[in-house]
Structure formats: structure tokens, C-alpha cells
Amino acid sequence: CFFILSIRLEDLRVKLENEGLVNISYVIVNHQGTNSQRKFHLLKGSVSDYITVYQQDEQQADVWTALNGSKDDFLIYDRCGRLVYHLGLPYSYLSFQYVEESIKIAYCENQCGNCSYT
């Protein structure tokens, strides 16, 4: 269930924050479908205000198509806004360490090269 994923993402956010990884932006992209739109408030209520829940408009282009991704993918960007990791299933399951480790690498390592944020 998607709400379990959102709760696990919240748990991961808190864990990383407690480890000193702060100023990370988390965004959940809700599906465009009518059923998902009806459950938007439940999804938004399952996470803290530190995780943005974006509701796609049915009339606009699908965000996942624009990003060459799929539902349940994790796209991890560095502090300069460059895509560092694109994790699809099964690597995006939060019960595995792939998402957490990818965030840590993007946060801690100098992936973005010569930049004023490092």
C-alpha cells in the first residue's frame, strides 16, 4: 500500500535527520488518477510537513513520464539539482538499503563537482 511507503519514507527522513543529514527535500508525487486524487488527504496526512506531497493535475502531462520514471521510483538529486540516482523496483523498496545509501552518497560525497555548495 502506498501509505505504508509514505510512513516508511517519513521514518527514513527522521533517521537520516538524527544522523545529521539535514536540509534534504523529500517529495511524494501522487498519481493523476481519480482514485489517487480522492485519497490525497490520507496520503498527505500520513507524513509530516517536512515531506511535500504533490498532486498531479489530470489535465497536465504525467510527471513520471516527463522524468522517464515510473510509479514507486525514487529519483535522488544532488544539492545542485542534478540527478544522481534513479532507483526503480525492486531497488526502491524502503525495506532495502538502496534508497538510504543513495541519499547518503548524494549528501556526503562531492558528486556535483566544482560547486559553491560543497
Answer yes or no: are the C-beta atoms of 42 and 3 closer than 8 Å.
yes
Confidence of residue 116 (pLDDT cuts 50, 70, 90): low
The three-state DSSP-derived secondary structure of 9-68 is HHHHHHHHHHCCCCCCCEEEEECCCHHHHHCHHHHHHCCCCCEEEEECCCCCCCHHHHCC
What does the pLDDT look like over 53-108, one tens digit per residue?
A: 999 988 889 999 999 999 889 999 988 888 999 999 999 999 999 999 999 999 98
What does the pLDDT look like over 10-67, one tens digit per residue?
A: 999 999 999 999 999 999 999 888 888 899 999 999 999 999 999 998 888 999 999 9
